Amino acid sequence: HEDADFLVVDKPPLLPCHPGGRFFEHSLWFLLRERHEFLHIATRLDRETSGLVLVCLNKGSARRVSLLQRERRLKKRYLALVHGSFPDRLEAEGFLGPDAASAVRKKRRFIPSSACSGEAGTGLESCATSFTRLMAAEGLAFPGRGEKTGPFSLVEALPLSGRTHQIRASLSSLGFPLVGDKLYGLDEALFLRFAEGSLSPEDGERLILPYQALHCEALEFEDGEGCPLSFHAPLPAAWPAVLPK
């Protein structure tokens, strides 16, 4: 979608939203900057996360979207493919903070409110995500990668807050890591080898997908006239075709 105020882009996996480190020209910001003088990426996704991104094209629309986000009137729906048999429904309310047990400095952990015991005042960020299981499978056929043994679950994630790594860290801490997630997946040593450029073919078999199975499938908000807008993006081709779109 494109109008005078907004772009809504279906970002592929493995494309960063912003330039950083070794990624500059290979970024969504750089590609869009060739066509637009003003850009504000309002709903940023991780490099490996696919799906809908909302981009503001002027300062007025950026202010409006910022207000919608503060008032929680900008809704996002994610689909996540996870390891394990996920419960029917789970409300993950609590806090995010550094994972002191991790060798990776940027890794975070989710602490449920019931387990916090006064920790909330020690630099942790409050967060809340509503999870619903959409499908469960003991095995799935991944295009080009054959049949993989599960159990797997397809989960809907509705974030009620917008914290860094919120969905990934919450799912990992709850015991249902994302398929393909190097940092929050089955073994963070995969991330360390990835950072060194030394992932093996065996590592690729464990990961199953070359990127984390997290996709922003739907985005809803009101434009400057108060008219509701709703957008949807199909799953990437590497996800199993049997999953509901």
Question: Which residues are catalytic, by number?
Answer: 46
Q: Give CA–CA dist 228/245, Å, rounded.
A: 22
Per the CB < 8 A criterion, the answer to whether 154 and 185 are in contact is no
Per the CB < 8 A criterion, the answer to whether 36 and 57 are in contact is yes
Classify residue 101 by burial, with Cβ atoms within 10 Å: 0-12, 13-18, 19+.
exposed
Cα angle 19, 24, 25 (rounded to 5 degrees) comes to 125
Q: Give CA–CA dist 12/163, Å, rounded.
A: 21
Q: By C-alpha distance, which of 186, 163, 178, 185 is closest to 110?
A: 163
Per the CB < 8 A criterion, the answer to whether 17 and 29 are in contact is yes
Q: Give CA–CA dist 230/234, Å, rounded.
A: 14
Per the CB < 8 A criterion, the answer to whether 186 and 205 are in contact is no
Q: By C-alpha distance, which of 51, 177, 181, 46 is closest to 110?
A: 177
Cα angle 184, 243, 175 (rounded to 5 degrees) comes to 25
